[in-house]
Structures are given as structure tokens and as C-alpha cells.
Amino acid sequence: METAFRVFADTAPTAAALMIMAWITLIPYRKEPAAQALMIYLALVCFLLVANIMELHAPIGTPTIWYAKLQYISFTYLPIVWLSFCLRYTGWISWTRKWLIAIAVLAPLPLLVLTFTNEYHGFLWRVLTFAQAGGLSVLRAEYGPLYWFLFTYSWLFIGTGAVMVVRSYVTGQGLYYRQSLWMIIGLFFPAVTNLLNLTRIFPSMGKDFTPMGYAVSGLCFLAAMYIHRLFWIMPASRGVILQEIDIGILVIDRNGWIVDHNQMIDQLIGITEIAVGKKAVDMVDVTEFFSACGIRELASDEKPSSGMLEWKGRMISWSRQAYQGRRYGFIFTAKDITEVISLQAEIVKLKEEFINREKLASIGRLTATLAHEINNPLAYITADLRSLQRILALPEKKRLSTDITDTVSSLSSGLQRIEGVVTSLLAFSRKGSIETVMGEYDMHRGISITLEFMRFELHDSVQVTTILGDIPRIKAAGEQINQVFFNILSNALHAIQSEEGAHGEIKILTGRTFDTVWCEIENSGPPIPAEHIDRIFDLFFTTKEDHFGTGLGLNLCKDIIENHHSGSLTLRSANPVTFRIELPIKGPESDAMHES
């Protein structure tokens, strides 16, 4: 018995010191639910060890009894904290449920009150005796009903937590088997030591080593978590969260060891085995993938990087992100975007179709106007030709050179007018494409062509004022920019004509900033209602009649200016209605529109 007492007295301080060190180790992870529960567990075990040490060295009598009672604070709360740890580890609950915390803290208090008032009722200990040897002593008692209630409740909680951990071991991912196994092994030690104390198989032992069993279990739990650096991971919920998402995840620590990966990254890269605990450079599929991504040194750069590549017949989008400046390692993500790219190609085709339909709709609305624009100069040309025929029929001496010259000049003017109309029509009827060739573009000429195309519609009811600044030519797809001008001017014209008998004005202003040119188009039509301001660029939103408006124009304009030219199209004012177009002088930043 003296040997058992001495062994416990000599090893318990070391165990308590280890609990303190383990607790300190968890401080960086103190915000993680599982780590919080484990920290409380270690603190209770440390308190239990200190109380046992004090019991051994205290004088026989009241001091020994007092320290024995203090141990029941830990014995009462340890099962609750253990169950809490298991619930968080397996992802059943989170620490934020305050009502659970209140129940966990307050429910055991009546048991502690009965423990510290045992001398009045004997529910915990019926008969008190003391065992002493070598100047050390402990309380040895005949247990009452309260002790057996505490025993049942403690091991019910501990057993429930153990079942959860075993379940996570059986149904969880294979790469977490070792973690769960460490926890199951940790649970084994307090169970064995407590069983030895109850059965007293070794009478000479004399001392309850259950506190030492709890200490070993705390170290096992810490090892299970710390070895894998996964205090924030909950294996049971991991199978739902991490494994089921369609993004591949590969986590590598700062030393190049793989600490986690999911099924999607296995499929994308071609990993056919559990890679946790292995060097990334030793995995052939991983190194080939990194090489294809242009990543040569895993830990050589703290800056995030990303890209796309074709890998094994699929288009993969990938990114690499260092965590806290390489302090902890790197996270690689990969996603199969083959279907997304295919869908984007379909969207591009639809946009092209929308652009062409909008052009055809616009040309259809202007057919009568264009016919009139061509018919007028044709009438003059016909009259001039007849005049020329009459002049040529006269004898040569009676012909006046001035008459011939004036007639030919009139013919030339009429032909030029027709040519201008036809040129404008061709500029707008040519089939558009999202991938239009970029080239040098004169914004003023584009405005002039558009106004010429709309001249007959505009001149009766709208006065057009142009205030053109000194701007350079820019790099743009001229046909698409002209389409934008046409759509905005058509909307302005329709707004002015929507008021019966109205005559209005359209102002066109241009200018430049440091690296952009801009154009503002203002009209004197009715203001845009406040409830429509945030929706005017939405696809299919229109305030026009069903037979006139499609809701495509402004949305396509915004797409052309912003997505394909890296510019901006904004509503600068709702009253008077003013749209502002800004385009970079050097052209779009992206490759959305290809040069040739």
C-alpha cells in the first residue's frame, strides 16, 4: 500500500504539470468548439490530481475528508465535459447553444450540495475509514446510494460519448481512423483504473488511480487532435460538408505534408489512395497536377495564385491560397468547369442572336423612313437625268456648260445621299458577333453615322445638339459601339415622342479623362420614375408597349460596354435622363473580344 501511495504522490505532480502544458498548447485553438471542451476537460483533470495530492498529504480527519469531497467537483463535471467534447467532435451541436451550457453547469449542483453535506445524511459515504502508510493517507469509505447514482450517471455520459466516437470511427472517412482510435484508447484508461478501484482486485494497491487514468485520457485526446492539426474539423459533419461539395480541396502544411483532401480532388487529380500524412512531392498525381498548373515550389510564394488548365480531358479551374502567410500551410482548390465553359459558349451565341434580332427589329421599324430617305434623292436624280437628256439633245452651240455642270453636280449630290443612307444601313445590318474584331474606332464618326441613319426620324420632332470635345481614336469594336449609340438614341427619341405633340432636344457631349473617353446622351423627355432606376438595365425590363419594346436594348448595351470593352454605362441623371458611356482608350483589359 505504501508503494502505491508513493507512486501516486510522485507521479501525480508530473501529470498535473502535463495537463497545464496541454492546456497551454490548446490556447491558439481556443475559439474552436472541440478545443474549448478539451481545455475544460484538462482543467478538471488537473484540479482532480491536485485534490488527490492534497488528500494524500493532509492530516487524517477533516482535512482528508474535505479534499476527498473536492475531488467530486471533477468527478461530477468530467462526464458532462467529455460528452460535450464528443458532441462537438462529431458535429452534433455547437458551443453557441447557451441553454445547454446553463443546464450543464446548473444540473449537477444539487449532487455537489449533497456531497458536501454528507455528514448530515450519509448518502455518499455511509462509513468513513482512513488508510495510511509512510506518512500518506487516503479516505476509504463504504459507499452510499448517492455514489452509485454518480457512478451510473458518469458512465452513462461517458459511454454515450464513446458510442459517438466509435460511430465516427466506423462510418467516418478512413483518413480519420487514427484520430478516432486515439480517443477510444484514451477512454480505456479511466475505465480500467475505475474498475480496479471498485473491485479492489489488488487489495495492496490501496489508492484510486482513476485520476491518473483521466490524465492519460486527456493526453490521448490531445494527441488525437494535435497530431493532425485538426481542432476545427468534425469528422462526422465533414462527410456531409467537405466530401459532398463539388469543389476539390487539398490542404498541405508548411512542410509539404498533406493534411486533408476530399473525394472531388481525388477524382479531378487522380488520387487513388489516402494521402493524409504523406509528402505532396511523393505523390505522382499531385506533382504532375501542380506542374501543369505552373507551380514548381509548394512553399516558395506566399501570394495567392489561380488559373485554368485542361487536365485529363476536362477544364479545371484551380487556386492556391497560403494561410496566414505560409505560417500554417496552403489550401488548394480545384473545380471542374467543363460544363460551365460549354454553357458560357451557349450564352455567347444567345447574346449574339439577341444583338442581331435587336438590329433587325430596329431596321424593320425604320424601313419606311429609309425608303423615304432613298426615294427623295432618287426623284431629284430622275429629274436631273431628264434635264441632262434635254440639254444633250440641243445642238452643241446652244448647250450651256454651266447647265451641264450644275446638272451633273446635282446628280452627284443625290447619288452621295443614297450612298450615305445605304452605308448607314449596311453598318447596322451587318451580322454582329460577341467576338467582333477590335480595331481603331473614331467615336465622333460613329455618332455621325448613327445620326445619319436616324436623320429622317429625328428631324421632324427632335433637335440634336452635339458638343464634341477633342478626343483620340480608341481601340473598340465599332459596329457594337454604334449599336449602343443607336439603342440609347432610339430610347431617347421614343421618350420624347411619347408625349403627344411633343418636340424635344437630344444633347450629345463627348470628352476625355486621363485614360478614357466618354459620351453623354441627354434627352428632354419625361424623367425616369424612381422605382425604375435600379431596373433599367435588367434583361427584359421595358416600359414601352408590347409591340415596341423588348427589354433587350439597354441590357445588351451594358453588356457590350462593360463586359466586352471594360468600360462603363451608367444612368448619370434621371431628370433630365442622361446616360454616360466611358471607354478605355487602349481597349478592353480582358480577352473577351479577340484581336486578329
**Spatial distance between the Cα atoms of 51 and 67, rounded to a whole number of angstroms:** 6
Residue with more model confidence, 129 or 596: 129
Asked if residues 520 and 578 have their Cβ atoms less than 8 Å apart, the reply is yes
Give the type of residue at 95.
Answer: W
Tracing cell 478539451 back to the chain, one arrives at 38
Query: How is the chain split among helix, strand and coil, in percent rounded to 5?
Result: 55, 15, 25
- The SS3 assignment for 547 reads coil
pLDDT, mean of residues 58-71: 91
Nearest to 309 by CA among 321, 295, 298, 330: 295
Chain Cα centroid distance, residue 254: 24
Nearest to 401 by CA among 393, 410, 392: 392
**Spatial distance between the Cα atoms of 543 and 577, rounded to a whole number of angstroms:** 15
Residue with more model confidence, 163 or 198: 163
Range with the poorest average pLDDT among 64-68, 350-354, 369-373? 369-373
Range with the poorest average pLDDT among 80-84, 226-230, 275-279, 582-586? 226-230
pLDDT score of 322 more than 90: no
Q: What is the pLDDT of residue 85?
A: 76
Partner residues linked to 330 by β-bridges: 252, 322
DSSP annotation of 287:
H
Residue with more model confidence, 537 or 149: 149
Instruction: Find the distance separating the first CA and the last CA of the chain, reported in whole Å.
Output: 94
pLDDT score of 17 more than 90: yes
Q: How many CB atoms lie within 10 A of CB 327?
A: 9
Most confident option among 230-244, 320-334, 365-379: 320-334
| Residue 247 CB-density burial (10 A; 0-12 exposed, 13-18 middle, 19+ buried) | middle
Q: What is the pLDDT of residue 117?
A: 93
Residue with more model confidence, 80 or 345: 80
Residue with more model confidence, 377 or 91: 377
> What long-range pairs does 307-313 form, CB within 8 A, spacing at least 24?
308/337, 311/268, 311/269, 312/270
Asked if residues 5 and 56 have their Cβ atoms less than 8 Å apart, the reply is yes
Asked if residues 344 and 308 have their Cβ atoms less than 8 Å apart, the reply is no
Contacts of 384 (CB under 8 A, 6+ apart): 407, 410, 411, 414
Q: How many CB atoms lie within 10 A of CB 275?
A: 24
Provide the percentage of residues in the chain whose pLDDT is more than 90.
19
User: What's the pLDDT band for 227 if we cut at 50, 70, 90?
Assistant: low
Cell of 425: 444601313
**Spatial distance between the Cα atoms of 190 and 165, rounded to a whole number of angstroms:** 16
User: What's the pLDDT band for 231 if we cut at 50, 70, 90?
Assistant: very low
Most confident option among 157-166, 243-252, 273-282, 526-535: 526-535
Q: What is the pLDDT of residue 234?
A: 45
Q: What is the dihedral of CA 53, 56, 59, 60, to 10 degrees?
A: 140
pLDDT, mean of residues 262-269: 85
For 507-518, the DSSP string reads EEEEEE-SSEEE
pLDDT, mean of residues 505-522: 93
User: What's the pLDDT band for 257 if we cut at 50, 70, 90?
Assistant: confident
Q: What is the pLDDT of residues 187-215, one digit of tens each?
A: 888 888 888 877 777 766 678 888 999 99
Q: What is the pLDDT of residues 425-463, one digit of tens each?
A: 665 555 444 455 688 999 999 998 888 777 767 766 788
Give the type of residue at 156.
Answer: L
Q: What rounded mean pLDDT belongs to the chain?
A: 78
**Spatial distance between the Cα atoms of 111 and 74, rounded to a whole number of angstroms:** 12
Q: What is the pLDDT of residues 370-397, one digit of tens each?
A: 665 566 567 667 766 777 777 777 676 6
Nearest to 186 by CA among 220, 215, 155: 220
**Spatial distance between the Cα atoms of 94 and 88, rounded to a whole number of angstroms:** 6
Give the type of residue at 187.
Answer: L
Question: What are the φ/ψ torsions at residue 320 (nearest 5 degrees)?
Answer: -125, 130
Encode 534-567: b = buried (16+ Cβ within 10 Å), e = exposed: eebbeeeebeeeeeebbebbbbbbbbbbbebbbb
Tracing cell 498529504 back to the chain, one arrives at 57
Tracing cell 449533497 back to the chain, one arrives at 114
Contacts of 289 (CB under 8 A, 6+ apart): 269, 270, 311
Most confident option among 403-407, 463-467, 547-551, 590-594: 463-467
Q: What is the pLDDT of residue 596?
A: 37
Give the type of residue at 278.
Answer: K
Angstrom CA distances, 104 to 77, 83, 107, 169, 186, stand at 8, 10, 6, 26, 23
**Spatial distance between the Cα atoms of 579 and 115, rounded to a whole number of angstroms:** 81
Chain Cα centroid distance, residue 504: 49
Q: What is the pLDDT of residue 291?
A: 85
Give the type of residue at 491.
Answer: N
Residue with more model confidence, 179 or 63: 63
Asked if residues 281 and 291 have their Cβ atoms less than 8 Å apart, the reply is no
Cell of 222: 490531445
In 236-281 the beta strands, taken as DSSP E runs, fall at 248-253, 258-261
Range with the poorest average pLDDT among 143-157, 486-500, 523-537? 486-500
